[in-house]
Structure 1
Amino acid sequence: MASLRVRAGELRAREQLTFRRGHQGGPAQTYEGRLTALAVVGAPRQRQAMAGDIVKVWGVPGIRVGDHLGEPEPTGRAGFTPPGLETVVRPRVPGQEPRLHAALLALAKQDPLIGTRTLPGGQTSVLLYGEVQKEVIGETLARDFGVEAEFEPSRPVCFERPSGTGEAAEEIRRQGRNDFMATVGLRVEPAAPGSGVRYRLGVDLGSLPLAYHRAIEESVRLALGAGPRGWPVTDVVITLTRTGYVAPVTVAADFRGRAPIVLMSALRQAGTTVYEPCHRFELEVPLETFSAVAARLAALGGELRDTVLRDDTWVIEGEIPAGAVHEFERLLPDLSHGEGVWWSEPSGDRPLR
């Protein structure tokens, strides 16, 4: 069973429907489904859902939180903010690493708010929105999968954006050794914040067999997972500017090996800036604690955007790095004599300082 909100049109049971699942930095995945039953919340006798209704549906076992039904979402439509924290997770009992990894992958498939990735060395990290999520994931792993987990201290998930335009190419040498029998040229350009990764062709589609085109694009997207500064690269337009191969010597592996090298050269030429995730916060503290609270916020990298005095209470609004939120929450009771009220939510990013 899943819950949907109908924003336009009508929805009936037994209709063949198209669902879309977005992927950051890549095209949306589509899949088909047919509802076996539906129930409109607040109107159980209603047999079809209209715009504005919230409806429970059955019959699509592969549906996940965040999936979209119908036509593609308009560009720029708000979605889930990417997680701002990351922690390495290990099994409490040595030897259960494969079991833990499989359990985390299963959780990630069920819930898009849970993300995982494999770090160099084979460790598994979990992407988080906050420290409370650690407790929820830990309890779920123990209860549903029989694996007790330990989490390392969280760190912010930074990323890189290109600072300018860069272009690089490597060609097949007519003389001497060729590590890869493939010619690849790439240009990288900045894209609008939040647009992700866009890959496009600056050469004729027929300049290469389709398998070679796929090999280049797949290896480029994979290589963007670690930019020149070690963080994922996003909000970038990648253009394939040059290609070449020698039949029947060249194979797809040649393009998979050469494309990441050319991409890194182009990124280094363009330059990249590292950004850190931030939270917008609102804070209420007693009048006499303002100085201590403001000083601690500044020490943790926070910025005050607005301050309002209401009776004997300061209302403070501002922005703070996601990695400092938990530390400030821990310090607030002492700083505010136990009277502070704190609220925060993910709000974007800023250049790492």
Structure 2
Amino acid sequence: MANSTNGKGTAAGSTPRCIALVGPFGSGKTSLLEALLARTDKLARQGTVTDGNTVGDASPEARSHGMSVEVNVADTEYLGDRFVFVDCPGSVEFLSEMDGALSGVDMAVVVAEDDERKVPALQLILKALEARAIPRVLFLNKIDKSSRRVRDVLTVLQPASEVPLVLRQIPIWEDSQATGFIDLALERAHVYHEKEPSTEIDMSDEDRTREHEARFTMLEHLADHDDDLMEALLEDIAPDRDLVFSDLVKEMQDGLICPVFFGSADHGNGVSRLLKALRHEAPFVDTLSNRILDDNSRAALQVIKTLHTQHGGKISIARVLEGQVSDGDSLFRNGRDEVKVSGLFSVFGQTASKIATAGKGDLVALGRLEHVETGDLLSHDEGAFTGLNSPEPRSPALATAIEAVQRKDEVRLSAALAKLAEEDPSLSISQNQTTAETLLKGQGEMHLRVAQERLAGKYGLDVSAHTPHIPYAETIRARTKVRGRHKKQSGGHGQFGDVVLEISPLPRGEGIQFSDTITGGVVPKQYIPSVRDGALDALGRGTFGFPVVDVAICLTDGSYHSVDSSDQAFKMAGALAIREGLPDCKPVLLEPIHKVVIACPNDATARVNAIVSARRGQLLGFDARPSWPGWDEVQALLPEAEIGDLIIELRSATAGVASYVSEFDHMAELSGKAAEQALQRSGKQAA
């Protein structure tokens, strides 16, 4: 049943296999990790999320919110085989943690439960695995709380998966409780024991009938990809058990099926059977390394996570794909930049233990690789390969304007924000030049809250945050001609500048144009640039207090004084003319409009359309989301002022799974009550 060697002849059990635990928020991944570690005697006692004593979710932020907010790593051994489990957050706001981890794992255990509301979230997880061709099994958790037949649960979950969900077990029921299981491959029945391995029992006649029926269904799925098995089934010949196991392993590893196991992580039920399946059926690291490395690679590591620790500095968590790495080794980042390992550690939860060397398949932490990022490939060989592309960062869904409470902390805040963004690529930091704000963008409310908690707890920074200001602008509808005269006498040389400007509107998006029609030297040529500078400065704050755009300025006339005129005087005259002339040009407020594409399950499309309409949006239509059965993409034009907390309402209407991307499209006029409200929110008043 077990493969004795992997693709390059490595003996089974000699290299650890790396297994990602993934699944929707609240499905029980951290509890399953705890159960796996306890069953393999890595832990003396199985902890619980409720008690806050688990190996995973041990960071202050995870403990505080009772949820995974970052990947957690733990290694163990089972019957001589070594495993490294990577527990990934399930909340849609922290899925970028999973994105990085998946670049270095051999297989995934998808943890799900009997909850129709979480099917869209399950589809998000499975899509990520399918896109990366990662073999997977599904562990149906909380079987003790399920009231439906397992095959009925699979009918509900199947739309989330592109490949068949194939039952490997069926439950043994007693008084509507799952008291054990029947293994469809081995054709054996087992009874559960609380946090102990199950024991084999004899099957009842009724259970044997159920087992035959369920096993035949499993074999039918396997026969879709095996002509010999199909022929045996058609001829009613019992297939050889080795053939069945061979097909189960091959079709799972090839991504043709997703086998389904079940149990209860809290009670330790189904854990031993899952471990046995992983031991016999999970691929080794060669499957991953063969996709990435060339044949001449002596050593290579895939970086799956970046951390900044308070005392140890920057840490890069990486999977050794080939060869061996030692503390002090020089490595090349993506075959180019040379870096040196300054500290090598094994990782177990929040604990890092110093080691001298790490070998093929190990997941380790490398110290102080300053220019290395998540997704990079490290190797002893310069220029041998380019490695995997870094995971594509997820588009931000929510932004907050952030600043240090104490001015003296501004430099420290900038450095801390850069470190947070390096740890979590789905966080982004930007400067809005128009509103003079630092924007922290993330995947949702909790995501940004955790980031701010880390600024306080990890970096000791007191910060304040508020809703970002909208970069409104203004333009004009009418033209005017205005004189601006700046005259001042204060002893000695005075100041004198006199200009006549024509101010007129331009089509939307044309910006600001300045020209002159001066003849006869009424405004000396050397002062014209100063007139332009003064006019442009004045356009920075228009009648409503916002920058003025799409305006043409023409200098047509003026006068000067041979002694008192200067660059500064004509700059002041140009600004004065603009300030006096703009109110006569029928000024109007402009707001930024974005093109928004919203992805949502199609049963929520009508609700999404209503949300967009209620936010002054213009619906452009919707289409089926490519390669996403059961999903739509809604296209709309939406004012930026209405996008701020859009993701909160969208996720409320879509069981927490909607997402969107947006980009600036154009500026549009804003008038009436909406304009009044915009001015009130911005605290602006007419100039």
Q: Does 1:351 align with 2:669?
A: yes
Structure 2: stretches of 5+ with no match in the other structure: 1-333, 336-397, 419-429, 488-493, 675-687
> Whole-Å Cα distance in 2 between the matches of residues 240 and 215 of structure 1?
11
Pick closer, same or farther for the CA change 1:130–1:188 going to 2, 3 Å: farther
Pick closer, same or farther for the CA change 1:180–1:301 going to 2, 3 Å: farther
One-letter amino acid of the structure 1 residue matched with residue 513 of structure 2: R
Residue 156 of structure 1 and its aligned partner are, at CA, apart by 1.2
Preserved contact between residue 184 and residue 259 of structure 1 (Cα < 8 Å): yes
Q: Does 1:156 align with 2:470?
A: yes
Find the residue that maps to 1:319 and give its secondary structure. strand
Mapping of residues 273-352 of structure 1, within 5 Å: 273-308=588-623, 312-352=630-670
Residue 102 of structure 1 and its aligned partner are, at CA, apart by 12
Preserved contact between residue 162 and residue 273 of structure 1 (Cα < 8 Å): yes
Preserved contact between residue 220 and residue 259 of structure 1 (Cα < 8 Å): yes
Corresponding residue number in structure 1 for 2:405: 92
Structure 1: stretches of 5+ with no match in the other structure: 1-40, 43-84, 108-112, 120-124, 174-178
Q: Deviations over 1:12-40 (max 9, x none)?
A: xxxxxxxxxxxxxxxxxxxxxxxxxxxxx
> Whole-Å Cα distance in 2 between the matches of residues 279 and 202 of structure 1?
38
Pick closer, same or farther for the CA change 1:221–1:170 going to 2, 3 Å: closer
Preserved contact between residue 503 and residue 554 of structure 2 (Cα < 8 Å): yes
Mapping of residues 93-172 of structure 1, within 5 Å: 93=406, 95-96=407-408, 114-116=431-433, 125-126=436-437, 149-170=463-484
Preserved contact between residue 515 and residue 554 of structure 2 (Cα < 8 Å): yes
Preserved contact between residue 599 and residue 633 of structure 2 (Cα < 8 Å): yes
Find the residue that maps to 1:229 and give its secondary structure. coil
Q: Which has the higher contact order (CA 8 A, sep 6+)?
A: 1
Residue 227 of structure 1 and its aligned partner are, at CA, apart by 0.8
| Cα-Cα RMSD | 4.4
> Whole-Å Cα distance in 2 between the matches of residues 319 and 238 of structure 1?
31
Pick closer, same or farther for the CA change 1:103–1:243 going to 2, 3 Å: farther
Residue 337 of structure 1 and its aligned partner are, at CA, apart by 2.0
Mapping of residues 152-301 of structure 1, within 5 Å: 152-170=466-484, 181-204=496-519, 206-301=521-616
> Whole-Å Cα distance in 2 between the matches of residues 186 and 320 of structure 1?
36
Find the residue that maps to 2:533 and give its secondary structure. helix
> Whole-Å Cα distance in 2 between the matches of residues 87 and 198 of structure 1?
34
> Whole-Å Cα distance in 2 between the matches of residues 272 and 100 of structure 1?
39
Q: Deviations over 1:268-291 (max 9, x none)?
A: 222222211122122233344334
One-letter amino acid of the structure 1 residue matched with residue 512 of structure 2: V
> Whole-Å Cα distance in 2 between the matches of residues 248 and 102 of structure 1?
51
Corresponding residue number in structure 2 for 1:37: none
One-letter amino acid of the structure 2 residue matched with residue 158 of structure 1: Y
For the pair shown, which has the larger CA radius of gyration, 1 or 2? 2
Pick closer, same or farther for the CA change 1:272–1:315 going to 2, 3 Å: same
Q: Deviations over 1:298-351 (max 9, x none)?
A: 222222111346875443211111232231112211111234342322222222
> Whole-Å Cα distance in 1 between the matches of residues 556 and 441 of structure 2?
42
> Whole-Å Cα distance in 1 between the matches of residues 581 and 634 of structure 2?
43
Residue 257 of structure 1 and its aligned partner are, at CA, apart by 2.8
Q: Deviations over 1:108-161 (max 9, x none)?
A: xxxxx63436x8xxxxx22759567x97x999x99xx99765332112101112
Pick closer, same or farther for the CA change 1:88–1:345 going to 2, 3 Å: closer
One-letter amino acid of the structure 1 residue matched with residue 555 of structure 2: L
Using the size of structure 2 for normalisation, the TM-score is 0.32
Mapping of residues 1-12 of structure 1, within 5 Å: none
Preserved contact between residue 171 and residue 244 of structure 1 (Cα < 8 Å): no
Pick closer, same or farther for the CA change 1:242–1:129 going to 2, 3 Å: farther
Q: Percent identity?
A: 20
